[in-house]
Amino acid sequence: MSANQLDKKSEAWSALFSEPMSDLVKRYTSSVSFDKRLWKADIAGSLAHAEMLAAQSVIAAQDLADIRRGMAQITQEIESGAFDWKLDLEDVHLNIEARLTQLVGDAGKRLHTGRSRNDQVATDVRLWLRDEIDALLPLLAAMQQALVGVAERHVETILPGFTHMQVAQPVSFAHHLLAYVEMFARDAERLADVRKRVNVLPLGAAALAGTSYPLDRERVAKTLGFDAVCQNSLDAVSDRDFAIEFASFASITMMHVSRLAEEIVLWMSQNFGFINLADRYCTGSSIMPQKRNPDVAELARGKSGRVVGHLMGLLTLMKGQPLTYNKDNQEDKEPLFDSVDTVRDTLRIMAEMVAGIVVKPEAMERAALKGYATATDLADYLVKKGLPFRDAHEVVAHAVKFALSEERDLGDLPLDVLQGFHAAIGEDVFDVLTLRGSLNARNVLGGTAPDQVRAQLARHRKRLFTA
Ligand code: ARG
């Protein structure tokens, strides 16, 4: 084979073809522009395969030495940017293999023994994704740490809790932030679980049916750090569940980020004025000089859309495919890559932004005072005095109606006025009508009472900050 023939992809599948591929088809079928990102995994997989082939005497020790030498040079070429990626060679696998053969001759041509690009690509993607997962897990921890850090300063800060976007009951701001910590903790658990099914080795399945060479798949798995070997060759080359599971994790995580981002946008608006963000996370307007817009939070919210889209894309990609490998599978990469990139960058920037949030406790408390947030407390007070809850609820509705007409808060009504709604009301009612009294009363496991919130903070601190 002459050197210039190696530049043509058709050489990878023989003389059967009598006419060259059109340029349009070449461009349409090629994936090298994006899958070159898998190069490190591709080389690692090839080296593990070659070592095993040599150990099993399928190739000679000299072949292995040549392959190692060639791959070392290719690594250096790719890292330095000198590697000449060729569209003609379709994908990362053929590009690297062709260069290897150019560098070391026959040993390069022996590398593909007992292997197909079908099991090769599945192996590469899993290896690559495993490393990305290992980089994402600390970012999920950092996000939780940032939230815990702010929460620790705001156990006693009172926020109006909302249902239906209507003021419902006062809550500790720390309690509110810790709700997000719960979400991100579940995301981390989910990701660790996804990793288990990512970290299984397809190599050895070859094109689809396995191979006639005496491969030692367990050995390759061990070399590459896989926990197990795919047990069915047909499934090994066609399965993309692991990518879908990752996209599902990514979508749920981005949904959580998006909810937090939405709250940050609301809190920062003039109508709430609960928080401020550092200038470096905001942008101005080219026309309205007074504006400081929370662009980072809005983009985080917006980017959740594309990640959910990737999940839908991957599910749709797989649903009509018969066994086993089909070229459709080449379409798994861009959505997967973009999901990884988006979740990584979003977690990084949001954790940073959250850590630097400026909280305005007075504004939060003022808003909590406005919305009759302690009405439930008055009802609970009457229940403790012996009223059935439904009757108490009705009494308080009358009191709130009256207070609304007077434009006053329940706690600002004089005792005799309150007693007009029910005789059981006594002087001690003012303890429960305060925001703090309301907070302290919710001293149930998982409730917003500061004692409960402190206990949760201690649990998270131990989980997140001790190695
Ligand atoms: N670039 C291909 C992909 O990403 C590699 C596998 C190609 N296999 C094949 N039989 N054409 O799926």
Q: What residue owns the CA closest to ligand 1's atom 4? A: 330
What's the pLDDT tens digit per position in 354-394? Answer: 999 999 999 999 999 888 889 999 999 999 999 999 999 99
Q: Is residue 163 part of a domain?
A: no
Record the pTM: 0.93
Ranges of beta strands (E only) in 241-333 are 275-276
49 as an active site residue: the answer is: no
User: Are residues 311 and 300 part of one domain?
Assistant: yes
User: For residue 11, what pLDDT is reported?
Assistant: 55
Residue 5 — very low, low, confident or very high, per pLDDT cuts 50/70/90?
A: very low
Ligand 1 pocket test: which of 21, 42, 115, 118 has the largest number of ligand atoms within 8 Å of its C-beta?
A: 118
H-run or E-run covering 163: strand 158-163
What are the φ/ψ torsions at residue 358 (nearest 5 degrees)? -100, 115
User: For residue 375, what pLDDT is reported?
Assistant: 92
Span from the CA of 14 to the centroid of ligand 1 (angstroms): 17
User: For residue 4, what pLDDT is reported?
Assistant: 44
User: Are residues 127 and 102 part of one domain?
Assistant: no
Residue 19 — very low, low, confident or very high, per pLDDT cuts 50/70/90?
A: confident
Residue 18 — very low, low, confident or very high, per pLDDT cuts 50/70/90?
A: confident
Enumerate the H helices of 153-240 as residue ranges. 173-198, 217-224, 233-238
User: Are residues 148 and 236 part of one domain?
Assistant: yes
Q: Is residue 445 part of a domain?
A: yes
Q: What is the mean pLDDT of the chain?
A: 95
Q: What residue owns the CA closest to ligand 1's atom 3? A: 330
Ligand 1 pocket test: which of 329, 332, 336 has the largest number of ligand atoms within 8 Å of its C-beta?
A: 329
User: Are residues 460 and 393 part of one domain?
Assistant: yes
Residue 12 — very low, low, confident or very high, per pLDDT cuts 50/70/90?
A: low
Q: Are 101 and 89 within 8 A, CB to CB?
A: no
- Ligand 1 pocket at CB < 6 A: 31, 35, 91, 117-118, 121, 325, 327, 329-330
Place of tokens 């006062």: 170
Q: Residues 2, 18, 57, 164: which is the catalytic one?
A: 164
Using CB atoms within 10 Å of the CB of residue 243, give its burial: 0 to 12 exposed, 13 to 18 middle, 19+ buried: buried
**Over residues 156-173, mean pLDDT:** 95
Span from the CA of 327 to the centroid of ligand 1 (angstroms): 6
Q: Is residue 221 part of a domain?
A: no
User: For residue 377, what pLDDT is reported?
Assistant: 92
What's the pLDDT tens digit per position in 73-107? Answer: 999 999 999 999 999 999 999 999 999 999 999 99
Which CATH number characterizes residue 136's domain? 1.20.200.10
Q: What residue owns the CA closest to ligand 1's atom 11? A: 327
Q: For strand 158-163 and strand 166-172, is the pairing parallel, antiparallel, or unpaired? A: antiparallel
**Over residues 213-240, mean pLDDT:** 98
Atom of ligand 1 nearest to the CA of 207: 10
Q: What residue owns the CA closest to ligand 1's atom 2? A: 330
Domain hosting residue 453, numbered range: 367-465
User: For residue 282, what pLDDT is reported?
Assistant: 85
Using CB atoms within 10 Å of the CB of residue 110, give its burial: 0 to 12 exposed, 13 to 18 middle, 19+ buried: buried
User: Are residues 421 and 352 part of one domain?
Assistant: no
pLDDT above 60 (res 241): yes
Residue 409 — very low, low, confident or very high, per pLDDT cuts 50/70/90?
A: confident
Q: Are 64 and 53 within 8 A, CB to CB?
A: yes
Q: For residues 364 and 272, what is the distance between their CA atoms, to the nearest angstrom?
A: 8
Q: For residues 386 and 397, what is the distance between their CA atoms, to the nearest angstrom?
A: 18
Q: Is residue 223 part of a domain?
A: no
Q: For residues 233 and 295, what is the distance between their CA atoms, to the nearest angstrom?
A: 48
In this predicted structure, which of 22-26, 120-124, 187-191 has the lowest mean pLDDT?
Answer: 22-26
Span from the CA of 118 to the centroid of ligand 1 (angstroms): 6
Number of separate domains in the chain: 3
User: For residue 207, what pLDDT is reported?
Assistant: 98
Span from the CA of 116 to the centroid of ligand 1 (angstroms): 9
pLDDT above 60 (res 326): yes
In this predicted structure, which of 117-131, 329-343, 361-375 has the lowest mean pLDDT?
Answer: 361-375
User: Are residues 333 and 255 part of one domain?
Assistant: yes
65: CB partners within 8 A, 6+ apart: none
User: For residue 279, what pLDDT is reported?
Assistant: 84
User: Are residues 397 and 311 part of one domain?
Assistant: no
Q: For residues 401 and 403, what is the distance between their CA atoms, to the nearest angstrom?
A: 6
Span from the CA of 206 to the centroid of ligand 1 (angstroms): 12
Ligand 1 pocket test: which of 117, 123, 240 has the largest number of ligand atoms within 8 Å of its C-beta?
A: 117
285 as an active site residue: the answer is: yes
Atom of ligand 1 nearest to the CA of 92: 1
Residue 202 — very low, low, confident or very high, per pLDDT cuts 50/70/90?
A: very high
Q: For residues 24 and 63, what is the distance between their CA atoms, to the nearest angstrom?
A: 37
Residue 21 — very low, low, confident or very high, per pLDDT cuts 50/70/90?
A: confident
Dihedral sign for Cα atoms in the order 373, 374, 375, 380: positive
User: For residue 111, what pLDDT is reported?
Assistant: 98
From residue 443, how far is each of 156, 170, 177, 447, 450 by CA, in Å? 14, 13, 18, 6, 8
Which CATH number characterizes residue 67's domain? 1.10.275.10
Q: Is residue 135 part of a domain?
A: yes
What are the φ/ψ torsions at residue 47 (nearest 5 degrees)? -65, -40
User: Are residues 233 and 101 part of one domain?
Assistant: no
Span from the CA of 193 to the centroid of ligand 1 (angstroms): 27
Place of tokens 């970290």: 199
User: For residue 285, what pLDDT is reported?
Assistant: 79
User: For residue 7, what pLDDT is reported?
Assistant: 55
Which CATH number characterizes residue 418's domain? 1.10.40.30
